[in-house]
Amino acid sequence: MNRLFVLALFSAFSVSTHAKTVNMVQAAKAFLGDITDEQASVAYDDPTIEEENKVSELKLKVGDKIKFMNRDEVSHNVSAIESKKKLFDVALQEPGAKNDREIELKQKGTFEVQCAIHPKMKIKLVVE
């Protein structure tokens, strides 16, 4: 095996092992980090859960994934845009685990993740 091949193999391996999936839970009309279903079910009545887990900025890499999990009592409609260019569109997502959507990030940039229904739900997403 030549050295370049070994290096290429190593880089491919390290890229795939570093890719991660971040859970974004929609509860109490906010994007919350990795909270349990039990926390999500009471988030609306317990503002401390929202305060402690609210995500307003995310820094990820190309190849990483975001799993949108609607644990709210209402539907959400999440997309990510940069200027007018769309990175992804989760579209209308009803509550429940069966509607979880995993999005792979395929493009670098600084995007705004937002919900079309709830303008206050926003995340600044930086993909490197």
Minimum CB separation of residue 92 from Cu ion in Å reads 10
Cβ partners under 8 Å of residue 89, min gap 6: 78, 79, 80
The C-alpha atoms of residue 92 and residue 99 are separated, in whole angstroms, by 10
Q: Which is nearer to Cu ion, 87 or 113 (CB)?
A: 113
Binding residues for Cu ion, total number by CB under 5 A:
5
Minimum CB separation of residue 21 from Cu ion in Å reads 21
Pairing of strands 65-70, 101-104: antiparallel
Contact yes or no for 50/29 (Cβ under 8 A): no
Q: Which is nearer to Cu ion, 58 or 121 (CB)?
A: 121
Interaction between residue 25 and Cu ion (CB under 5 A): no
Among 76, 87, 103, 123, binds Cu ion (CB under 5 A): 76
Print burial letters for 28-61: b (CB count within 10 Å at least 16), e (below 16). Answer: bbbbbeebeeebbbebeeeeebbeebebeebebe
Residues 87-126 close enough to bind Cu ion by CB under 5 A: 115, 117-118, 121
Q: Which is nearer to Cu ion, 73 or 128 (CB)?
A: 73
Q: Which is nearer to Cu ion, 42 or 117 (CB)?
A: 117
Question: What residue ranges bind Cu ion (CB under 5 A)?
Answer: 76, 115, 117-118, 121
